[in-house]
Amino acid sequence: MSATPVYCTNHPKTETLLRCNKCGRPFCVKCLQRTPVGYRCKECLNVQQAGYYTATPVDYVIVAIVGTIASLIGGGIALVLGGFWFISIFYGPAAGGIIAEIIRFAIQRRRAKYTWLVACATVVIGAFLVAGALPLLFLLLSFGSPSFGRLGAGLFSGFFNIGLWIYLVLAVSTVYARLRV
């Protein structure tokens, strides 16, 4: 019995016996992904996964606003606890989980592909705003004025708070883990 060789759709020189169980096209092992219902090609998987995303573009704006407000509060608490870095180890994941759940509640649990990215960025932005990124502007604009220079340097010292950095790393990683689709 001599069967005609079948070649991969993406790699015409690679002989294969496998097919996508959705579209039926032949693919090699490199081009197929194993799923609970069989092997699927990347195109069929992308179509299937696109149906899971129910969010609208407005949801990204909601995530940015709500996430920034929540992270300003969380970053402020982390800045106060900053001297107690051991407490920040436990506070960071808890605050990140609360921020992620607040964001999820605000967008009514709709799913989007990059919600996690916007949420993580808001945690970083909120922490930097609380730590004193705005006083950096005072430093740059002081032009030798001793009062503004001291004010900016004093407020900018929040960046050197080890507890804030511990909070930032742990909160961002928790938000990423909770909102990653």
User: Same structural domain for residues 115 and 89?
Assistant: yes
User: Same structural domain for residues 89 and 27?
Assistant: no
Domain that holds residue 46: 1-51
CB neighbours of 70 closer than 8 A, spacing ≥ 6? Answer: 98, 99, 102, 103, 122, 126
Predicted pLDDT at 81: 81
User: Same structural domain for residues 16 and 35?
Assistant: yes
Between CA 60 and CA 38 the distance in angstroms is: 34
Predicted pLDDT at 113: 81
Instruction: Write the CA distances from 17 to 7, 88, 98, 173, integer angstroms.
Output: 8, 55, 49, 42
User: Same structural domain for residues 47 and 61?
Assistant: no
User: Same structural domain for residues 132 and 159?
Assistant: yes
User: Same structural domain for residues 127 and 63?
Assistant: yes
pLDDT in tens, 22-40: 889 998 888 888 888 888 8
Predicted pLDDT at 51: 57
165 versus 138: which is more confidently predicted?
A: 165
pLDDT in tens, 82-116: 778 788 899 999 999 999 999 999 988 888 888 99
State the average pLDDT over residues 64-75: 93
Reduced to 3 states, what is the DSSP secondary structure of residue 34?
A: strand
User: Same structural domain for residues 93 and 118?
Assistant: yes
Between CA 107 and CA 66 the distance in angstroms is: 9
